[in-house]
């Protein structure tokens, strides 16, 4: 933990106070204080665009993908015929790497031969939709790709929680005349509350660490900027700027601490209660 997580994180925070192109030893670095942070906030528009896109990613996962996962978990918990097939289909994207998910959706969004444009009938030159090249819509297309994977994970979490509910409680609710919604509200929903905390934290972390899909599409540029791609482009771009990239990474670290701290606080409280 110290060698591979804490020391590199501390080194990154330290490097954010220096100007260094990564060539030569660390002695070549020049101390600039908070200049890299000032440049992030005032000079480079990619930083604020990345913040906005991370918020869009969070909204897409939290307000669309997560409710869909809850809905699918509720439907599968009712014992639908062929539910094993549905569960496998929903969970299959979760076992795929995000880079592979990016490649899959690149094929779906292809302008002329992609499934999406063919389905909508917009694969002709006169009304062609460039889903990934148009900077006005490509972030939404990327969020759909990320949400496709996220839905299966959320479904798995909630389905496991629903199946842990004592069947006798549901039977008692049915005997008392409770409908499906009332049984879900008064029997199942209280069981889901601990899972809700985990889902909120995981969704926030997923939105902050999103990287692979935008990077596969166009290296996180032309409308697909995220905090993670700002860091990567600072390290791997034509002009390597270790200090600038470290400043962006420090901002990402500070934002990530908030949901992680909330999750740890909840977990510690649960351990103390038991």
152 located within any domain: yes
Q: Give the pLDDT of residue 55.
A: 93
8 located within any domain: no
How far, in Å, are 103, 128, 129, 131, 194 from residue 119 at the CA level? 19, 12, 12, 14, 40
129 located within any domain: yes
Asked whether 153 and 201 are in contact (CB, 8 A), the reply is no
**Average pLDDT, whole number, for the chain?**
85
Overall number of domains in the chain: 1
CATH number of the domain residue 110 falls in: 1.10.3720.10
Inter-helix orientation angle 83-91/138-162, to 10°:
130
How far, in Å, are 20, 21, 43, 171, 231 from residue 239 at the CA level? 11, 8, 16, 66, 13
Q: Over range 244-248, report the average pLDDT.
A: 89
259 located within any domain: yes
78 located within any domain: yes
| pLDDT, tens digit, 9 for 90 and up, residues 77-125 | 877 788 889 888 988 999 999 899 999 999 999 888 889 988 888 777 7
17 located within any domain: no
Task: Give the structural domain span for 184.
Answer: 33-273
Sequence-separated (6 or more) residues with CB below 8 Å from residue 31:
17, 18
142 located within any domain: yes
Asked whether 233 and 185 are in contact (CB, 8 A), the reply is no
| pLDDT, tens digit, 9 for 90 and up, residues 158-203 | 998 888 877 777 777 777 777 677 777 777 777 787 788 888 888 9
pTM of the model: 0.85
1 located within any domain: no
């Amino acid at each position: 933990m110290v060698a591979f997580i804490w020391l590199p994180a501390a080194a990154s925070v330290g490097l954010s106070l220096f100007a260094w192109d990564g060539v030569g030893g660390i002695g070549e670095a020049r101390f600039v204080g908070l200049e890299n942070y000032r440049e992030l906030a005032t000079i480079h528009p990619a930083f604020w665009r990345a913040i906005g896109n991370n918020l869009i990613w969070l909204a897409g996962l939290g307000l669309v993908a997560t409710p869909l996962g809850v809905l699918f978990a509720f439907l599968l918990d009712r014992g639908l015929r062929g539910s094993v097939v549905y569960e496998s289909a929903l969970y299959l994207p979760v076992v795929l790497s995000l880079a592979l998910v990016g490649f899959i959706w690149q094929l779906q969004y292809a302008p002329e031969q992609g499934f999406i444009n063919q389905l909508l009938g917009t694969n002709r030159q006169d009304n062609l939709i460039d889903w990934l090249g148009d900077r006005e819509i490509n972030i939404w297309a990327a969020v759909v790709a990320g949400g496709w994977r996220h839905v299966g994970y959320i479904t798995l979490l909630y389905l496991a929680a629903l199946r842990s509910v004592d069947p006798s409680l549901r039977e008692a609710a049915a005997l008392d005349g409770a409908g499906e919604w009332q049984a879900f509200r008064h029997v199942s929903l209280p069981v889901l509350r601990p899972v809700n905390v985990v889902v909120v934290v995981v969704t926030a972390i997923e939105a902050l660490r999103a990287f692979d899909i935008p990077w596969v599409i166009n290296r996180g540029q032309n409308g697909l900027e995220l905090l993670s791609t700002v860091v990567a482009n600072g390290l791997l771009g034509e002009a390597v700027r270790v200090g600038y990239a470290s400043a962006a990474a420090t901002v990402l670290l500070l934002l990530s601490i908030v949901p992680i701290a909330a999750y740890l606080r909840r977990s510690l409280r649960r351990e103390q209660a038991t």
